[in-house]
Chains A and B, each alone.
Chain A
């Protein structure tokens, strides 16, 4: 006899469903028993009804076959479902493995990202440090450049051997100077002569006569004799002496007089390229 309970359990196990409840199983069993015990299926007990009984037996056989076919169909369906379940479980396992691999990969990537972040941070720090060092070096270089530029600017005056004035220009200045000296000397003499002609000069004191003194310069004697030309020469000579004194190095600066001897000593050593420009150091305007 067909055991519905075991069948449903088997089906459920295939379908991976929970077995039907006990009440459902009882209802189904009662229903099938009722169908088997229906009047069409029961023997009539009457002898005239053998044909009916035979017919009923045939009908039950058909029902049984029908049920067997259904069972076969159900088995096929169950088998298909089972195969489908197996396939789905395989796919599920594949997906699970795939998900695990993805998870592993994600963790691996996160780890790599962490490492990369660490390396990036280190690199950024290194670059920042390098930038700071370069900036400091640049600042030092700029300061050094400024210092060297200032030194070069200061040294330029002493390194240059190019004259700002040519010899001809210097000679022109000196000729003009001589002309000025002459004009002043002549002017002074003329004014003195005017003064001389407008007043009576008492005779010179004999004791103050320079000609009576030995080694008196000739021009002084002429001046003493009121010789205008001699006086002009004497004026010129005085002015020339003063001008030469003013232009002769450190001669007219008493506090710098020692430099004159230093300059002469350096000049005697022959280091012209050093000696001449170094006059700038001690020039007082």
Chain B
């Protein structure tokens, strides 16, 4: 809740974080609680009910390098970098992925096998500079 309130603070629509928090409680309390319940259920699934391997949710922090092997682009602009050698950076995660750790052998150690790719938005897709304006690249939406 506090993190969502901090996001709203960035818009400048509320004079205080407390107001932002009250807004979120009024609008999305039930939805957030539902998400947290599912998260707790998933915690039990990963800790107790799945014992053959380690399963985990995948999340990409903003600024990390896009990797098509474990991520998909929200705007579907291709899993490969736009240009060879370039590194697209992640602006945010919009859908969590799922992976499980497997033993890759004595040299490789433990590897993460991707079961569901993390969906991300890339900085290049959300940041367009045209005459100083910043915004979503509408041609890719």
A residues neighboring B (CB under 8 Å): 157, 160-165, 167, 170-171, 173-178, 180-184, 187-188, 191-192, 195-196, 199, 201-202, 204, 208, 210-211, 217-227, 229-231, 233-244, 246-249, 267-268, 270, 272, 275-277, 279-280, 282-283, 285
Contact = CB atoms under 8 A, between A and B. Distances in A.
A247 B115 contact: no
At the interface, is chain A mostly helix, strand, loop or mixed? helix
Interface of B: 3-4, 7-8, 10-13, 23-24, 27-28, 31-32, 34-36, 38-59, 62-63, 74, 91-98, 100-101, 103, 109-110, 115-116, 119, 121, 123, 126-127, 134-136, 141
A240 B94 contact: yes
Contacts of A283: 44, 47-48
Nearest to A215: B63
A218 B103 contact: no
Given A237-B93, A242-B3, A283-B48, A247 B57 contact: yes
29 contacts: A165-B50, A170-B98, A174-B96, A181-B95, A187-B31, A188-B28, A192-B13, A217-B62, A218-B62, A218-B92, A222-B136, A225-B135, A226-B13, A230-B135, A231-B11, A233-B91, A235-B7, A237-B62, A239-B35, A243-B36, A243-B38, A244-B57, A247-B43, A247-B57, A249-B46, A249-B56, A276-B51, A279-B47, A283-B48
B41 to A, nearest CB: 7
Query: Which of A164, A170, A201, A267 is packed against the most chain B CB atoms within 10 Å?
Result: A170
A219 to B, nearest CB: 5
B7 A234 contact: yes
Contacts of B57: 174, 243-244, 247-248
